[in-house]
A and B are shown apart, each in its own frame.
Chain A
Amino acid sequence: MSRNKLEAVFIAFAKEAFRNKLEVFFTLFFPMIFLLLFGFFFGGSSDYQKPSLGLYQTGAYDISPIIEETGAWSLSFFDDDNSLEEAIKAGDVLLGVTFDGEKISYLYREGDVGQLSTIEMARASISAAVEKEINNVKSVIVVENIPETAGRVRATDADYTMSGVVAISLLSAGMFSVISVFGRYRKRGVLDRFKITPLKPMTFILGSTLTRFLVSLVSIILILIVSRLLFKTGFQINWPLFLISIVSSTLGMMALGLFLTLLFRNPETADTAASILMVIMIFLAGIYFPLAFLPDYLRAISSFLPVKYVAEIIRHSLGIEMVSTVYFLVTNLVLSISGILLLYFTGRRYLSAS
């Protein structure tokens, strides 16, 4: 294989990729939209504020020190229950608490779904703490919570969310690009023109694959920079492992795209199938939402979603959640081999002159 030919194909593909406004948007800027949206939704912003709790009490016993002791709430006091209700309605107070010495009432706005788990936890913990204090209960069993680090750094919510954005971005860049190259090029007859040139199929495949690596790398570096600046992520990147993960993940995600191209002859259909897979993976791969909340059958499905494994090796190389060396190697190998095999077969199928 001539190095000059490979270089020429690579440069041509790279120029095409970076000159194509749509591709630049979908591979470089579109992940940024997700980064910002999911970062603000699930990653927690750097200007974290404690949720607000409004208290109105009439009994002799003052429960405010108990609530303040938890350190979890920004406490404000109200003179009557009507003004407390108004504050809840207006969204100024997340959780209202009234206490008359015997009864605690919890007030919150209907269907504030994002805060339901916080409210539920608060209800259980505040009631228990008040009952404990009033009855002067001495704890028989105490729990000591010990934070552990799964990686080289103590990760934050933002670190986990941003590593998920990196995994989804690799999925998007790898899967959609091969549908474009092998689906659309084939439909437009571009591949037929290549067939009649002296260019070897492998040179074409390598040239297009190297371009994918470059595009993925540029996209990931942009994500890392923006997530560092906006969400104060504290990755401790092991660059050799990170680059290996990017290459194998891109190959693995390309394999997924190639599989769809082989399955659906029409590139638009393959594109649609890829979009469905993408939505399924965003919600079910345990990247943004804990798998613990999924029903059993969806949890079983999630173990078949490759992006779950991509997220794991990316987190490993970013230093936030380690996996065993064997697991890391096997995952990278499976992703790479599936990509290489499918590239080889697709190349032979669509690019061989015979």
Chain B
Amino acid sequence: MSRLWNFTSGLFKSEIREFQVMFWSFIFPLILYFILTSVFGSFYGSGTQGVSFRVGIVREENLAGFGKIIDEVIEGISSESGPFVKKEYGSIDEALVDLREGRQDIVLVIPAGTNAKMTSALALKMGEVPLRVHYISGKESSTIASSIIEEVINEVNLEIERRGKGDFMNIVTETKVISAIEEKAFDYKEYIFPGVALMMILSVALFNSPIGLIQYRVSGVNKKLYTTPLRSLEYFAGHFFKLIITMLISLVLLYLVAAFVYRVGGSIFDIRFILTLLYSMIVAVSFGLMLASFSKKLSTVTVLGQTLYQIMMFLGGLYFPVFDLPWGIRWLVYALPTTYLVELSRRVMGYQFAPLSVGWLIAVPLIWTTFSLVVFAVNFKKVMGYE
């Protein structure tokens, strides 16, 4: 036992002395967690707090009288908590140049005659007040900003009617979230945690493991090891434990950041959630072993590893939902083990994204594990470089 421990500890030390391994296994997941929560935390957060679009305002006449209502609306949406930052322009041409050159997201034009039209619409109940919103077609920030302006104006219209009409019928609106276990508020920092954890597990399993095995074979280290009393099973167990220890250390770091920096609690400490991560480790490691058995050279394993890593990360739904992708690519989503593993972890957290039962979430990765281990076992001598 101590022989195995010594060998594992030696392999582990040699592994983490490599700067690349140290960085990609331990530091990069923390950086990615920070970037994703910073970028998408507000994207998927509640309300428009922190969101800031740029709106250029062109006044073809200064607002007065009833027209001041529009001024109040503009002030309201471009105040400190509002989703817009406004800039006044003297002419439409100047504003459109800035819109086309990306300095504004939309341009709101208050046409000449607005004051008179507002008076007519409100006092005489005649006519309507047109406002023009110029936006850039195809540009996401611009189309979202124009939709928000439209919604705001809709609300203003309803509010005007509500105040002027005694028998206005308010429609009650309620939201019901259909979830796996119970209704809970969506927390992006919690949601993304299993995605980042699985990314780390994948990077260890698809890079460290097969590259380590092939490097030892091609550099002749294996041949030297075979001259020692070390048995092949011990060698393999040492390699396996080295990977698991690397993953566990990285996971502890990720937990510390999640708990103390982002205050994520509860579900990620649930023992069932931790078990799903351990299951993911076993599945990913066996997948990495299969990868090693397909590759003779380091360059081949690097190319295969990178390709599979990106595909399994993005199409596995680690960061973005994948079940609304076109069927031309969605079949791949169903074929990947990561789709099931990340969904399994999130299901334990109380989320449900995939239209799949828990049975499938466990069975498909298990099939992949069995298949991978069989392929590895068949190619064992080739991978380990036995003559």
Q: Which residues of A come within 8 Å of B, CB atoms? A: 21-22, 25-26, 30, 33-34, 36-37, 40-41, 45, 47, 51, 85, 88-92, 94, 96, 102-117, 121, 123-125, 127-132, 134-135, 137-151, 154-157, 159-160, 266, 268-269, 271-272, 276, 279-280, 283-284, 289-296, 298-299, 312, 320-324, 327
Contact = CB atoms under 8 A, between A and B. Distances in A.
Contacts of A30: 306
Interface stretch (B157-165, B212-220, B274-282, B375-383): B157-165
Interface in B183-201: 183-184, 186, 188, 191
A88 to B, nearest CB: 5
B321 A112 contact: yes
A85 B183 CA distance: 14
Interface stretch (B5-13, B148-156, B235-243, B250-258): B148-156
Tell which of A37, A293, A320 has the most Cβ of chain B within 10 Å: A293
A268 B20 CA distance: 7
* Interface residue range, chain B: 35 or more
B138 A115 contact: no
B20 A146 contact: no
B128 interface: yes
Contacts of A112: 321, 353
A127 B101 contact: no
A116 B41 CA distance: 13
B138 A109 contact: no
A110 B178 contact: yes
Interface stretch (B45-53, B259-267, B358-366): B45-53
A312 B102 contact: yes
Given A144-B133, A149-B100, A292-B53, 15 more contacts: A22-B303, A33-B310, A37-B315, A40-B326, A47-B328, A89-B178, A90-B355, A105-B174, A113-B44, A113-B186, A140-B121, A143-B149, A149-B137, A154-B137, A295-B42
B138 A155 contact: yes
Contacts of B144: 117, 290, 292
A52 to B, nearest CB: 10
B139 interface: yes
Contact of B19 (A33, A148, A269, A321): A269
B1 interface: no
By Cβ-Cβ distance, the 7 closest A-B pairs, closest first, are: A110-B179, A290-B141, A155-B138, A114-B321, A91-B355, A147-B137, A103-B172
Nearest to A156: B138
Interface stretch (B31-39, B222-230, B288-296): B31-39
A289 B303 contact: no
A294 B38 contact: yes
B129 A142 contact: yes
